Amino acid sequence: MHKKFYLFKYLLLIYSSLYFLKGYAQAPTNFTKDYFLFIDHEKQIPVLILEDSLMYTGYDFKKTKINGLPKNIPLKDFKAVKHKGQTYIVDKGCGPVFKFENNSLNRIDKSFRHRNQFNASVFVYNDKIHFFGGYGMFTDKNIVTYFDEEMGDWLELPINSKEKPLPRSSCFSVLIGDELYIWNGSVKDDIIFADAINDNTVWKLNLKNNKWIQYGETEKLTASNRNIQLTFQAKDFLYQISFDAVYKINVLNNNITQYEFKMPTLIDCVYDPYANKVILVVKNHGNDTKNIYI
């Protein structure tokens, strides 16, 4: 059942838990450069990298340098995942894979920049990094690819069902146990513009037998039509943040809980499962500078 909460006590908790990092002497505030924000799963701390190879680590954001930052991949095209207790970084279009250790990005693949699965759902299962869907080479995809670390290259997962979801990118997804759930998403109607996909099905991929089934309908899982939707998974729930609301999505119960939340210039978020905090990147009014909130 769709619920809406306007509780003053909850709002007070939300706003009292937000603190601006400007008070930290070394915190990167009002930065204009491209950035990459992620969690170092080995040290269990946040990391912020700027395009000039400056790096800030921990909640005190100690300043240091990053080594091995490639010049041919923009920071905006990086995505970090937890893999074998450490942080691996992939190209969002699929291809290059880096292991983050000792303040360095160490490339471990023998691949190339595929540019074939931008805005894919990225997840780790059975000690392998997977991509579902995405857009590239002028088409949307419904394939699942995975990185074989021994080979150093990407392979396509064989699907053992005739039923498959429609090709799409930017869909919502959550991995629960051995099953991947996906719904909604978009398809490109030309090179620039994307339209919401005409599919109201929640699809489930059983990763033990590689079979897709139609799990349910998305009517109750469609949160909103906001201009910005940032998501992260915590336990078995998918959280979605928009300009003026936070949604907690329970796909197994086809249920959304909505909380009021105001941050109209929000552009990015990263969830820290160790501190149970959400790190937000906010664009300042009137210029291109960015600040960080917790």
Mind spelling out the 3-state secondary structure of 186-242? EEECCCCCEEECCCCEEEEEECCCCEEEEEEECCCCCCCCCCCCEEEEECCEEEEEC
Of the listed ranges 74-88, 95-109, 127-141, 188-202, the one predicted with least confidence: 188-202
Both structure tokens of 204 = 């489930």
In this prediction, residues 152-178 reach a mean pLDDT of: 97
- pLDDT per residue over 169-189, tens digit each? 999 999 999 999 999 999 987
In this prediction, residues 9-13 reach a mean pLDDT of: 38
Name every residue whose Cβ is closer than 8 Å to that of residue 225 and which is 6 or more positions away in sequence: none
CA distance linking residue 98 with residue 73, whole number of Å: 12
How many C-alpha atoms does 186 have within 13 Å on its Cβ side? 15
Q: Which of 18, 88, 26, 90 is nearest to 57 (CA)?
A: 26
Task: Decide if 262 contacts 275 (C-beta within 8 A).
Answer: no
In this prediction, residues 77-92 reach a mean pLDDT of: 97
pLDDT greater at residue 244 or residue 27 = 244
- Judge whether residue 8 has pLDDT over 60: no
- pLDDT per residue over 50-65, tens digit each? 998 999 999 999 999 9
For residue 18, name the pLDDT band (cuts at 50, 70, 90): very low
Both structure tokens of 146 = 């995975």
Q: What pLDDT was estimated at residue 133?
A: 98
Q: What pLDDT was estimated at residue 9?
A: 38
